[in-house]
Structure 1
Amino acid sequence: MLFFFCSALLRCYGQSPDSTQLVNRQLDSLYIHEVEDQRTPDKVLHAEPLFIDLIRDLGARKGEREWNVGLGLTDNFRYDTYTALVEYEWAPINRLGLEVELPFSFYTCNEPNGEKPANQLESLKTAVQWSFYVSERLQTTLAVGYINELHLRAFGRANRGPAVRGNTSNPFFIAAKRWGNRFHTLVYAGPLLERSVEQSKWETHWQINTNLHYMIPGSRNFIGVELNKELAHHRFQLVARPQLRVSVTDKLLVGIVTGIPIDKQSQRLSTFMRLIYEPGHRSQAAIKG
């Protein structure tokens, strides 16, 4: 927040409020035009949630790609969980996004001689997302997708059983709309179907995530909130995740998320940071030139 505040002061210094608003509107328009240019197919600029992110930009165009590195900490009652992930996402054809992700988990005990899960590479995640409806006029995009997650054995325990300990299937639906130039809403919903190698049937968890973001005038930065809701075993869980995204360079962005669980029976606060590298992003200077 300090970085953003200082940047805003530098932009505003020596300018009247009216001229600053005019410059911000021009920058907003340039950035939107950078995404919603005259190329086909159509594409609408949407703010992407930072914790449960999308497989690729909605309405992705062929050749787009992105690297993500995530680092997180969750304060549980009996132990703390440190998470790390590396993911690569790309669009092989227009409106189709693919993703491969490797999530890791590491644990430390909060109690003397306490028990904790084993450190491990959690899974191999692969995903696909298809934007089947894109309307620049309505500033709306609809998409469907599927995530498959193969859960792996903990480090050093592969000889105690199969290397794969279970599987999660997650078909999902996305509806996103931008209101004007700065307000963004998005709904991400679908079932999580889980089964371990010892189980004969699937367990179903319902996931509904709602998002509201505000794009900071004259920038690619945004602030917002992600509401992650899950219904499983007749129990409802909600975690509110206030978040912000800051553009460090033309190709590098940083996202910071705080997790606030409404039901604190199993965990307390959490934090998460996402580094986003977009090698194919074009600069505003190129647009102006």
Structure 2
Amino acid sequence: MKTHLTLFTTILLSVLSYAQIQNDSIVPIDSVTTTPTETRILPAKVSHAEPLYVDLMRDLGARKGEAEINVGFGVGSHRNYNEYYGFVEYEWAVADRLGLEVEVPFSFNKSNGDTKVPTAVPNNKVEGLKLATQYTFLVNEKRKMSLAVAYVHEFEFNTFKSLGHQGSVFTGMRMNPVFIGAKNFGNINTMLYTGPVIEHNYKEREVEVGATINASMMYVIPNSKNFIGVENNMDIDKDGFHYYVRPQVRLALKHNLLIGLVTGIPLTKHENSKLDVMTRIIWEP
């Protein structure tokens, strides 16, 4: 009896020791999906603060099934008109690290009464249909770093006025391959979003090549989804170099509901724009 008890104790201690070793190597319980028939240990993921103006198609290292709905509205002040713009977008992860996005942006413009500037007020329109995909090919938890590639394709729509005169629905398309790199330095999150921009105008049969560079740095409040930081939007096209700096803040109203506020300040002198303000509502169903 004593021998059996000793053997039982030895086996029990061995099992407990093995369980402890396995527990130390398993991700926390909040990152494990369980069903009555299986337990899935989710892949590694580093949390990065995502810019509010030029956002991503999905979180870097996104896990299958994650989804997000964004609604935004902004006001831009130009020399002789005000622009009221917005967007609705849906993004989801169809597989681990692979995200897709569908976005519909729109804009409405109204003269501000400044007749000294001859520039015509743009017509109102749905800007287009934007489709995008993103794949995170590197997630390094130790270095708090993620790398991804993405592709954004936008079908550009005509104005409401032109459509009323039986104009073509589409005026062109915009293609933008993107490289994304993000690294965290403690509570400081940095991100680079850059790539060439190719625009094809159907009517004029022209192809223009430019580039976009978006660099951001955010301070994330510890143990929260709140952050404050700045986003730098730089674009190169046929009209030259355009540079906006965008201070921003994001607040979590609930664990799955966030709101962000962005202010745009043009730094290049030849810009027709003055200031703009945009708010973004983020819901994770």
TM-score normalised per structure 2 = 0.82
Gaps of 5+ in 1: 1-31, 280-289
Match of 1:251 in 2: 256
Q: Would the aligned equivalents of 1:35 and 1:43 in 2 still touch at CA under 8 Å? A: no
Structure number with the bigger relative contact order (C-alpha 8 A, sep ≥ 6) is 1
Following superposition, which runs of at least 4 residues in structure 1 exceed 4 angstroms of deviation?
32-38
Question: Aligned equivalents of 2:41 and 2:143: distance in 1?
Answer: 18
Counterparts of 1:150-161 in structure 2, within 5 Å, are 150-158=155-163, 159-161=165-167
- Shift, 1:121, TM fit: 0.8
Gaps of 5+ in 2: 1-26, 33-39
- Shift, 1:94, TM fit: 0.6
Match of 1:52 in 2: 54
Q: Aligned match of 2:245 in 233, 240, 247?
A: 240
Calculate percent identity across the aligned residue pairs: 43
Question: Aligned equivalents of 1:252 and 1:116: distance in 2?
Answer: 36
Question: Aligned equivalents of 1:129 and 1:220: distance in 2?
Answer: 22
Aligned positions, number: 247
Question: Aligned equivalents of 2:249 and 2:146: distance in 1?
Answer: 22
Match of 1:43 in 2: 45
Match of 1:282 in 2: none
**1:186/1:112 CA distance change after superposition, 3 Å:** closer
Q: Would the aligned equivalents of 1:36 and 1:44 in 2 still touch at CA under 8 Å? A: no
Q: Would the aligned equivalents of 1:61 and 1:95 in 2 still touch at CA under 8 Å? A: yes
Match of 1:67 in 2: 69
2:42 counterpart SS class: coil
Q: Would the aligned equivalents of 1:36 and 1:45 in 2 still touch at CA under 8 Å? A: no
1:165-186 alpha-carbon deviations (Å, 9 max, x no partner): 1100011000000112x11000
Match of 1:268 in 2: 274
Match of 1:92 in 2: 94
TM-score normalised per structure 1 = 0.81
- Shift, 1:234, TM fit: 6.9
**1:238/1:48 CA distance change after superposition, 3 Å:** same
- Shift, 1:34, TM fit: 8.3
- Shift, 1:33, TM fit: 6.5
Match of 1:190 in 2: 195
**1:217/1:85 CA distance change after superposition, 3 Å:** same
User: Which amino acid in structure 1 is aligned with residue 248 of structure 2?
Assistant: Q
Q: Would the aligned equivalents of 1:188 and 1:210 in 2 still touch at CA under 8 Å? A: yes
1:43-101 alpha-carbon deviations (Å, 9 max, x no partner): 10100000000000000000000000000111000111110100000001110000000
Q: Would the aligned equivalents of 1:36 and 1:136 in 2 still touch at CA under 8 Å? A: no
- Shift, 1:220, TM fit: 1.4
2:176 corresponds to 1:170? yes
